[in-house]
Amino acid sequence: MRIFIIAGLLALALAQAAVAATVLKVMPTPVADEKAVFATVESLNVVPARARIGGTLAGLTAREGDHVEQGQIIARIGDEKLVLQMKSLDAQIAGLEAQRAQAETDFTRIKTLVDRGTLPRTRLDEAQTSLRVAENALQSRTAERLVIGQQLSEGDVFSPAAGRILKVPLTAGAVLLAGETVATIARQDFVLRLRVPERHARALKAGDMIRLDGSEIGEAGPRFGKITLVYPQIEDGRVMADAVVAGLGDYFVSERLRVWISGGERLAIVIPASFVTTRFGVDYVRLRQGEAMIDVPVQRGRDLPRPDMPDGVEILSGLRPGDELVQP
């Protein structure tokens, strides 16, 4: 008998603890008076990849929409004149190497004869001078060849930043000039650029939270972001602002999204949607009054999800501050 009494007391204590854990005290909280505006996914910086030399576009290794890393080769430019100059210098270098070898042989032979006293010292000086002239000429042509080789290597067009290629206005075989744009790259620092009517501009400030509906981004729940910059200039009756939202790199650049921003603050009663039940089209919440539990009808407003309450819903009537709700 004592065992059954102890078990009953334990069950009652656990039930009371569960009820206490699910009790929510109703308190008005300041909420943002949200307004829906449109925003576009844009990059803070759009940088061009330019050709460093003029020539013919030999090939493209990337196209629109591809993700590139900083320093990645995206195109190659060839110049036939540089190739011909390289071949000419190779021939000149080969001839100068032969002259230097001949001058070195003559210098060695004359030095041997001078040491034996057969030839005068002046002949050795002349041979040494000829050897130096041949070596300097060979070094000069070798340096010119390095310059041409560097110009040929500058035909590689590198990505100036990591990001996504937006536009490649050229095709293989096109003729380019030095400094011409080969591709346009949007860096990875994507932001949401909002265009807010000027009547709401006074309530807009850096640090405000914004909300994207899950249906806009193909997700089940909402996603939140923060405004980082409000531009001071008004254009066409609208104020531009930038907001940072995680994961914007997965979307198209310049895609339009509907964003909810704060147009001011007001007091409202917001509770989790799990505390509301619907029966025959009427919404009810369960109140605790002393030891009794009663269900009271309420008028449900629109959903107000927040970072701390993703399933928040506004209650327009039926509750008063201080009421204690119990999750059904």
pLDDT above 60 for 2: no
Q: Domain of 85?
A: 80-151
Dmax (CA) of the chain:
136
| Residue 14, domain member (yes or no) | no
- pLDDT tens digits, one per residue of 164-179: 888 888 888 788 888 8
| Residue 13, domain member (yes or no) | no
- Residues 111, 199 within the same domain: no
Average pLDDT over residues 263-267: 78
| Residue 84, domain member (yes or no) | yes
Average pLDDT over residues 101-122: 84
Last residue of a domain, one of 103, 123, 151: 151
Last residue of a domain, one of 123, 151, 179: 151
- Residues 210, 298 within the same domain: yes
Closest by Cα among 242, 202, 203 to 225: 242
- Residues 284, 200 within the same domain: yes
pLDDT above 70 for 20: no
- Residues 235, 318 within the same domain: yes
**142-146, 187-191, 275-279: least confidently modelled range:** 187-191
Q: Which residues, 6+ apart, have CB-to-CB distance to 213 below 8 Å?
A: 222, 258, 260
pLDDT above 50 for 45: yes
- Residues 316, 233 within the same domain: yes
- Residues 136, 212 within the same domain: no
- Residues 125, 28 within the same domain: no
| Residue 15, domain member (yes or no) | no
Give the pLDDT of residue 218: 64
| Residue 182, domain member (yes or no) | yes
Residue 163: both structure tokens together: 């990001």
Q: Residue 294 and residue 171: Cα distance in Å, rounded?
A: 74
**45-59, 126-140, 195-209: least confidently modelled range:** 195-209
- Residues 105, 145 within the same domain: yes
- pLDDT tens digits, one per residue of 240-264: 888 888 766 555 677 788 888 877 7
pLDDT above 50 for 325: yes
- Residues 196, 299 within the same domain: yes
| Residue 28, domain member (yes or no) | yes
Residue 60: both structure tokens together: 């493209």
Q: Residue 138 and residue 143: Cα distance in Å, rounded?
A: 9
Q: Which letter, b or e, does each residue of 291-316 get, where b requires 16 or more Cβ atoms within 10 Å of its Cβ?
A: eeeeeeebebeeebbbeeeebbbebe
| Residue 7, domain member (yes or no) | no
Q: Residue 165 and residue 98: Cα distance in Å, rounded?
A: 51
pLDDT above 80 for 324: yes
Give the pLDDT of residue 10: 43
Last residue of a domain, one of 138, 167, 187: 187
At 282, the pLDDT band (50, 70, 90 cuts) reads very high
Give the pLDDT of residue 232: 85
> CATH no. for residue 202?
2.40.30.170
Closest by Cα among 165, 197, 175 to 263: 197
> CATH no. for residue 54?
2.40.50.100
- Residues 260, 145 within the same domain: no
| Residue 309, domain member (yes or no) | yes
Average pLDDT over residues 302-324: 85
- pLDDT tens digits, one per residue of 214-234: 666 666 677 888 888 888 888
- Residues 88, 166 within the same domain: no
At 156, the pLDDT band (50, 70, 90 cuts) reads confident
Give the pLDDT of residue 265: 76
Mean pLDDT computed over every residue of the chain: 81
Domains identified in the chain, total number: 3
- Residues 34, 106 within the same domain: no
Give the pLDDT of residue 266: 83
